[in-house]
Amino acid sequence: MGYAQLVIGPAGSGKSTYCSSLYQHCETTRRTVHIVNLDPAAENFDYPVAMDIRELISLDDVMEELGLGPNGALMYCMEHLGENLDAWLTEELDNYMEDDYLVFDCPGQIELFSHVPVLKNFVEHLQRKDFNVCAVYLLDSQFITDVTKFISGCMASLSAMVQLELPHVNILSKMDLVTRKKGIKDYLNPEPQTLLSELNQHMAPKFQKLNKALIELVEEYNMVSFVPLDLRKESSIQYVLSQIDSCIQFGEDADVKIRDFDPDEDQD
């Protein structure tokens, strides 16, 4: 049984920074994870790249040879990936043990995880290879400044959840950059009725029925829960990782390790 995180979210939400910080945290705690780049437009990395889609296809090559713009070229690259799952991806996965932990750093084009089937097919391929997969959806906490933006973020995350049909962890990223945390914390685990009241205050009366339906949808899919991530704090990274591990049942079958108490080592 292998384990995998599919790190998704809008462009600029901090996916690559999250992957880099996660790798550093796991290295410090002597835990092994492998970071996979699925962005054909990526150039620089702050983590060792275990697998790289650019070895299969690169954005620059597609733009030059086909004359496509950046977005069209990226979609072409991802469709090419989808056509080569049985070849390229299977061959790459064969390099890892059955209990390895992979983290896939995905592009930020929202259509890839909202309605285009590329990532859904990618996930299904991983599952056929006996991987437990969790979707990790990052939303920039600086974006959540009022209830309307919060609901917009929830709808985008819900779209990914429905499309991918995976265990799902929502993360408010960049909490270390937020100057007014009190307003953000109000949206970490809010009451649905409070959200509805605030939404009605922002919208015209004719939207009240729509607002009620949106809040009920968010509540039904348990979307009113976000995990804050402050990359300055190891405890914050550890908590996020523990939530994801629980979703994919990582470590549940591990043997309990018992060791003698060493006071000198404990003091270190």
Residue 268: predicted pLDDT: 47
150 falls within a domain: no
How high does pLDDT run on average in the chain?
A: 88
2-8 vs 131-140, strand pairing mode = parallel
Residue 146: predicted pLDDT: 82
Residue 266: predicted pLDDT: 45
Rg of the chain (C-alpha set): 20
Residue 177: predicted pLDDT: 83
- Whether 26 contacts 32, CB under 8 Å: yes
Measuring CA to CA, which residue among 82, 36, 74, 46 is closest to residue 58? 74
Query: Going along the chain, which residue ranges are E strands?
Result: 2-8, 34-37, 49-52, 101-105, 131-140, 168-173, 227-228
110 falls within a domain: yes
34-37 vs 49-52, strand pairing mode = parallel
Give 159-216 pLDDT, tens digit per residue.
Answer: 999 899 999 999 999 888 877 666 677 777 788 888 899 999 989 999 999 999 999 9
257 falls within a domain: no
Q: Which residue has the higher pLDDT, 218 or 29?
A: 29
How far is the C-alpha of 115 from the C-alpha of 162, rounded, in Å?
Answer: 9
Q: Identify the helix (H) or strand (E) that includes residue 130.
A: none
202 falls within a domain: no
Give 109-128 pLDDT, tens digit per residue.
Answer: 988 988 889 999 999 999 99
261, pLDDT greater than 60: no
Residue 253's pLDDT band (boundaries 50, 70, 90)? low
195 falls within a domain: no
Give 95-114 pLDDT, tens digit per residue.
Answer: 988 889 999 999 999 889 88
How far is the C-alpha of 165 from the C-alpha of 249, rounded, in Å?
Answer: 17
Q: Identify the helix (H) or strand (E) that includes residue 194.
A: helix 192-202
35 falls within a domain: yes
Q: How many CB atoms lie within 10 A of CB 38?
A: 23
96 falls within a domain: yes
Mean pLDDT over 40-63 rounds to 93
139 falls within a domain: yes
CB-facing half-sphere around the CA of 82: CA atoms within 13 A: 15
Find the CATH number of the domain harbouring 137.
3.40.50.300
- Total domains in the chain come to 1
Structure-token pair, residue 197: 């009241």
Domain of residue 71: give its range: 2-145+165-180+226-252
- Whether 47 contacts 35, CB under 8 Å: yes
pTM, rounded to two decimals:
0.88
- 67 sits in the region (left: phi over 0; alpha: psi -120 to 50; else beta) called left
- pLDDT over 70 for what percent of the chain? 91
